[in-house]
A and B are shown apart, each in its own frame.
Chain A
């Protein structure tokens, strides 16, 4: 995340552990690229990354960088902190529909406190990268004005 990076030791949220089929996604995030698996047979992207295409079950998959643009498909404003999120409430958990089609869960990064008035379904967003530890970067999304 640009602007206000937390010191690595301070990060208390749960961290993902990559599996072989998701490793390129997390490697991409660390390099500040949003990577998606694409099916070379049916031509569709999918998320989360799997070892086979969930649309046509082909195993001919290739990784490509996504545009990072999308829309809020649905969201919540969480006031009950998950473990490690105590200093972040209220925070937005959103399902982002990416321009390429797949949807992914993430957080909205906002300058103001989120309220039902300033967050909306269908709001356009763009990816930002939050380097939460030296090893792990989480792709998050910022509203686009």
Chain B
């Protein structure tokens, strides 16, 4: 592959990856228990133990909560907490920390009791900018806040609900191929089903919205030299990006694009020495149907304002089945685990997008495996298009 600008290219690899045993409604597990199970499974996957971990990266749980829970004293901690992309950013930070020698075994761990809400904080400081300038107007909760930019995009570019409804339909097709997906057995949906589902917050109907679940996941990263001796096929970090812009969605500079995603994506492509045309497997965090559409534009997979017609492109296969552009058999496989829309969404989904890229690059994705895949792009927003993280991963 081409050389990029990054001196840290392929210096660090992901050698352990796992989800919790179950995803969904888990009222018997607390937030910290979910973190612990995910961490233990990822370390087992890597052939390492908690005693080997000397760097902890976490977001829903504080690194010091976890060092206490695990009974270890890591020499590097990172609690970057900027919403759902935090774990994507943690990978970037872990690459830098391992390259600098500040830690050698980085554990990035997510666990969230997003549905059962066991040991979770309620937001709501009334003196914060959000508490003063959003909450008093009945603007709280992801469906209400993530929907704010959408109608501006519709107005400016003529994007339609019918086009947007193709995203949940395409993503469901992937979930039908993933036994771990919460909607694995729920059957296919059409764009018309999406538009006919219950109205939540116009322009979002219920099927435009991600699932709400309990669960967790974790990754283990080591230096490339050490990775060659691990039991799993290493997944190398080729390029990374991150950025942060506003905090309140109402403060977006331009509601039709994310400044942080645009910058983060550009950094990752430059570091990897690759462009959009070189990467044909996308894990674009889908909190809502519209969310990945924004990233298709921000990261250059289509032009500004063109994501509506882009995602709505379909064809029929020989049996008459609809093939979506981003679904199985489509030209641009996206969110191949079934996404936040049909696989699992705990609140800070970024970890799950990462895990799917790792499974795909290891060739472990079963019925949904993309044949011959060698490079994957993971991108996610923090909060509501506020922060962003990007990773380009490769299996050689």
Task: Identify the A interface with B (CB < 8 A).
Answer: 13-19, 22, 26, 48, 73-85, 88, 90-91, 93, 95, 103-107, 116, 121-122, 136, 138, 140
Residues of chain A lying within 8 A (CB to CB) of residue B273: none
CB A14 to nearest CB in B, in angstroms, measures: 4
User: Which of A73, A82, A104 sits near B133, CB closer than 8 Å?
Assistant: A104
CB A4 to nearest CB in B, in angstroms, measures: 17
Q: Contacts A16-B132, A77-B202 given: A82-B127 contact, CB under 8 Å?
A: no
User: Which of A17, A106, A122, A140 sits near B126, CB closer than 8 Å?
Assistant: A17
- Write the B111-147 contact mask toward A (1 if CB under 8 angstroms, else 0): 0000000000000101101011111111111011001
| Alpha-carbon distance A14/B132, docked complex (angstroms) | 9
| Alpha-carbon distance A75/B199, docked complex (angstroms) | 15
* Between-chain CB contacts (< 8 Å), 17 pairs: A13-B136, A14-B140, A16-B132, A26-B132, A48-B129, A73-B255, A74-B155, A74-B255, A76-B151, A78-B139, A78-B144, A80-B200, A88-B138, A93-B138, A105-B139, A105-B248, A121-B151
- Asked if residues B132 and A48 are in contact (CB atoms below 8 Å), the reply is yes
Residues of chain B lying within 8 A (CB to CB) of residue A74: 148-152, 155, 255
User: Which of B137, B149, B251 sits near A93, CB closer than 8 Å?
Assistant: B137
**Which size bracket describes the interface of B in this complex?**
35 or more
Residue of A whose beta carbon sits closest to that of B147: A76
Known pairs A13-B138, A77-B201, A104-B250 / 5 extra A-B pairs, C-beta < 8 Å: A16-B133, A26-B132, A76-B202, A107-B137, A121-B151
User: In the complex, which of the residues A13, A93, A122, A140 has the most CB atoms of chain B within 10 Å of its own CB atom?
Assistant: A93
Q: Contacts A80-B144, A95-B148 given: A14-B127 contact, CB under 8 Å?
A: no
Residues of chain B lying within 8 A (CB to CB) of residue A121: 151-152, 154-155
| Alpha-carbon distance A137/B9, docked complex (angstroms) | 55
